[in-house]
């Protein structure tokens, strides 16, 4: 008796044992996100040095352990800010951007890149709209003032904590820069009108 393997069984086993591969999904580029969140506004790159003390304060406020990189920050002439950050989803990094008004209020959030196989619903506009109008004074906490998405809990939590971290960054490091910039612009305008 000759045994012949069933081809359907072999194909099924191959599919079951094949590894799941997550593919990066690029939603928008940094430049596209800038135009979406701060249309018709000129932005100038404004990187900052993130000290250990600042990093610790941001961690305490947001619970994000991944260090914040201060190199992807832009400021507009009106004092608005555009900040790119990344947080861990479940296993992979999520890159996102937050636009803040001159007073530190969230104007909007865009997902730039999402690698996870699950939880991609965080890129949906309806979920991201929850952040608009929030400041560091708000809880910005999942299941408190930000709703969860079933099946995307870790991505929701980490992005929510990330937005909180960005608003805290504004209060701790960018607010003073905005005030200094406004004072310098006002002084220049006064000097120009006196000529």
pLDDT band at 113 (very low <50, low <70, confident <90, very high): very high
Contact, 163 vs 81, CB < 8 A? Answer: no
Euclidean distance between CA atoms 57 and 102, whole angstroms:
21
Residue 184 has pLDDT above 80, yes or no: no
Provide, rounded to the nearest whole percent, the portion of the chain with pLDDT above 70.
78
Residue 13: per-residue pLDDT: 47
Q: Is 152 part of any domain? A: yes
Helix, strand, coil percentages for the chain (3-state, nearest 5): 45, 20, 40
Please give the pLDDT value at position 8. Answer: 56
Q: How far is CA 98 from CA 18, 74, 101, 121, 157, in A?
A: 37, 11, 10, 17, 16
Residue 184 lies in a domain: yes
Asked if residue 12 is part of any domain, the answer here is: no
Give residue-wise pLDDT tens across range 121-180. Answer: 999 999 999 999 999 999 999 999 999 999 999 999 999 999 999 999 999 999 987 666
For residue 157 the two structure tokens come to 């939590």
What value does the CA radius of gyration of the chain take, rounded to a whole number of Å? 22
pLDDT of residue 192: 56
> Does a structural domain hold residue 54?
yes
- Top pLDDT among 106 and 185 is at 106
Q: Say if residues 128 and 122 touch (Cβ distance below 8 Å).
A: yes
Q: Helical H runs in the chain?
A: 7-17, 30-37, 52-62, 125-128, 153-169, 175-194
pLDDT digits (tens, 9 = 90+) for 19-64: 555 557 889 999 999 999 999 999 999 999 999 999 999 999 998 9
State how many domains the chain has: 1
- Note whether residue 7 is domain-resident: no
* Owning domain of residue 144: 22-194
The rounded mean pLDDT for the chain is: 87
- 156: Cβ contacts below 8 Å, ≥ 6 apart: 119, 122, 127, 142, 146, 148, 149
Any idea which residue has 């920050």 for tokens?
Answer: 73
Contact between 122 and 148 (Cβ < 8 Å): no
Query: What does pTM read for this prediction?
Result: 0.81
Domain contains 185? yes
Write the pLDDT tens digit of every residue in 73-96.
999 999 999 999 999 998 899 999
Work out the angle at residue 158's Cα, subtended by the Cα atoms of residues 155 and 160, and round it to the nearest 5 degrees.
Answer: 100
């Amino acid at each position: 008796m000759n045994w012949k393997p069933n081809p359907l069984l072999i194909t099924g086993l191959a599919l079951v044992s094949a590894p799941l591969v997550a593919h990066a999904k690029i939603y928008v580029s940094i430049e596209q996100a800038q135009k979406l969140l701060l249309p018709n506004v000129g932005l100038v790159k404004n990187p900052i040095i993130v000290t250990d003390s600042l990093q610790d304060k941001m961690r305490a406020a947001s619970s994000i352990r991944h260090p914040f990189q201060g190199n992807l920050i832009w400021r507009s002439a009106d004092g608005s800010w555009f900040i790119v950050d990344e947080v861990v989803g479940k296993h992979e990094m999520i890159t996102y951007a937050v636009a803040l008004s001159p007073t530190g209020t969230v104007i909007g959030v865009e997902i730039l890149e999402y690698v996870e196989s699950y939880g991609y619903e965080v890129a949906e506009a309806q979920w991201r709209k929850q952040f608009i109008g929030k400041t560091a004074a708000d809880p910005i906490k999942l299941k408190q003032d930000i709703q969860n998405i079933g099946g995307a809990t870790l991505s929701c939590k980490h992005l929510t904590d990330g937005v909180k971290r960005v608003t805290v960054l504004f209060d701790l490091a960018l607010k003073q820069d905005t005030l200094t910039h406004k004072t310098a612009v006002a002084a220049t305008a006064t000097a120009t009108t006196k000529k």
